[in-house]
Structure 1
Amino acid sequence: MGSSYNYYRMFGCFNRKFKIREMEPPPDVRDAFCRYIGRGTQMNADQLLRYLVEVQGEEGCTIKDAEQIIQQVASRRHHLIRRLNHSLELDDFLYFLFQDDLNGPIKSQVHHDMTAPLQHYFIYTGHNSYLTGNQLSSDCSEIPIVKALERGVRGIELDLWPSSGKDNIHVLHGRTLTTPVPLLKCLKAIRDHAFVKSPYPVIITLEDHLTPDLQAKVAEVRIHFPLWILLEI
């Protein structure tokens, strides 16, 4: 995997260079790649086809499908000469695995038993779901929450802090320069978009930094939003 450098101006007076590394293949991806390439260093169409059939269960896949995958990956990642190799390097293989249009889910519909208790499932969750950008200085908004729910996220985190007048509840990343968004605005966004993408329960995690009076105020708000499981931290 390669790496690159980004430059940022520090304290308004000098530049600092930060090294940005690309994602390294996890061990199981590296092991799968090495298992199918044998003694070589690249994966050809025959080897990719074996992987698709034996590991991913794509029994209807053909050698032509494997060749087209290699061609698509090469056209996106490499110049013309490199494309003529008709094979995948390890970083190409990793790239392929994460492309929905090249390696999408075999079954796009729910096919598991969905009647078990909630703790039996992995849950698609978010973190600091209200942030529009970085955790230090970005705006807080209900819009990222809406976008997360539209992607199928089932766990939304809200950090609750008192307003400057200690009389209202703000959602923000505490002790930073992030600008707040009202709690009620976030809850209304969840109410209106919770089940657009998925019919399954939404879990709201509340990180509580409130005074007792404001905690009581949140308890009153909950009466108007009874559809979700609330885990308060």
Structure 2
Amino acid sequence: MSKQSFKVCFFFKRIFKLRLAEPPAEIKQLFDQFSENGTMSRRRLHVDAFFQYLYSDHNLPLPNKAHHNMDSPYANYFLYTGHYSYLTGNQLSSDNSSKPITEALRRGVKSN
């Protein structure tokens, strides 16, 4: 570890140690899976290994699991609305109404 220092308010000197971040175990496992004998560099990353990673389950464009199960009835959800949820138009000159929230619920919007 190397030490670095910086000045605070031009008078005080602070010293801190640089720590190298260790990759998480999951990242190490993926690296071992897609590398050849534990090494991967620009010269060693082949097109086949790159495509294998791109099309693997570790690089999905969208998660394959639902973040929350949203199949419950509406009565089971807590509806959080902000100040602007009740506005019928712009925030400077419009009226307040519960109609925008009612319409959103009719369209199937759920909030947990």
Q: Normalization by structure 2: what TM-score?
A: 0.43
Larger Rg: 2
Q: Normalization by structure 1: what TM-score?
A: 0.24
**Going by fraction, where is helix more abundant, 1 or 2?**
1
